Every structure is written in C-alpha cells, then in structure tokens.
C-alpha cells in the first residue's frame, strides 16, 4: 500500500508516466505470449501439413498402382480373347459350345464383331 500512497502524492505527469510504463509492460507481456503461441501453432501446423501431404501422395500412388493393375489385367484379358477369336477365325469355327453358334469376326481395327448368337437346348450329361 505504500506504493499507492506514494503515487497519490506524485504530480499528474508522474502518474501518467507510471501508468504508461505499466500499460507498456502489460502490452509487452501479452505480445510475447501471443508470439510464442502463434509461432508454436504455425510450426505444428506445418508439420501436420507435411504429414497430410505425404499421406495424400501415398494414397495417390496407391490409386495409380491400382488403376495400372486393372488396366494391365484388362489388357491381358483382351489379348487372350483376341487370340482365341483369331484362332477360331483361322480354323473357320463358329461353334465352340456344342449347339451354341456365334458368328465372330475381328475387323481391321481389331474390334470384335459378334452376330447371330443362337443357343440351342442344353442337353444334360
């Protein structure tokens, strides 16, 4: 209480100077607290952002690999089908399942044409 009693006895200018110093000290403390928390948040945010970026790149690589595998499988299946159809066309065979008859042809572009599909009665074995 001694400080406050001494403050009352000071002149108006001295009181204003002390008030300005106290306000400056409070502002400095608040600024330091804000700076520490701000830079800590930015630093942790950049680490999280880097982790998310790495995770997204990994997911992107997995999707690309998956699509590539599907395309390779489809390509292999298409080549097998085309080879079978070419072999059938070379032998002149149109019936490959007993009573089932299919006219299959491959045009110059490699497109498969299927016409006149006729399925006969299925005979029990």
* Cβ-based neighbour number of residue 117 at 10 Å: 10
Place of tokens 């299927």: 114
pTM value?
Answer: 0.36
pLDDT 10s per residue in the chain (125 long)?
677 787 788 888 888 898 999 999 999 999 999 988 888 777 666 666 677 788 888 888 888 888 888 888 888 888 888 888 777 777 765 545 555 566 777 788 878 777 766 655 545 44
CA–CA separation, 16 vs 39, rounded Å?
A: 34
Measure the CA–CA gap between 85 and 93, rounded to whole angstroms: 9
- The pLDDT value given to residue 110: 78
CB 94 within 8 A of CB 101: yes
User: How many CB atoms neighbour CB 44 within 10 A?
Assistant: 10
Per-residue model confidence (pLDDT) at position 125 = 45
Q: How far apart are CA 67 and CA 61, in angstroms?
A: 10
Mark residue 85 as left, alpha or beta (left: phi above 0; alpha: psi -120 to 50; beta: remaining).
alpha
SS3 118: strand
């Amino acid at each position: 209480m001694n400080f406050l009693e001494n403050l009352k006895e000071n002149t108006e200018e001295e009181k204003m100077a002390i008030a300005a110093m106290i306000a400056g000290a409070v502002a400095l403390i608040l600024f330091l607290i804000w700076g520490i928390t701000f830079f800590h948040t930015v630093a942790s945010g950049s680490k999280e952002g880097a982790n998310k970026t790495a995770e997204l790149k990994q997911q992107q690589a997995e999707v690309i690999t998956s699509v590539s595998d599907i395309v390779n499988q489809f390509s292999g299946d298409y080549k097998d089908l085309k080879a079978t159809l070419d072999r059938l066309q070379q032998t002149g065979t149109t019936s490959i399942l007993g009573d089932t008859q299919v006219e299959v042809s491959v045009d110059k572009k490699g497109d498969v044409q299927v016409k006149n599909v006729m399925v006969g009665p299925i005979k029990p074995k």
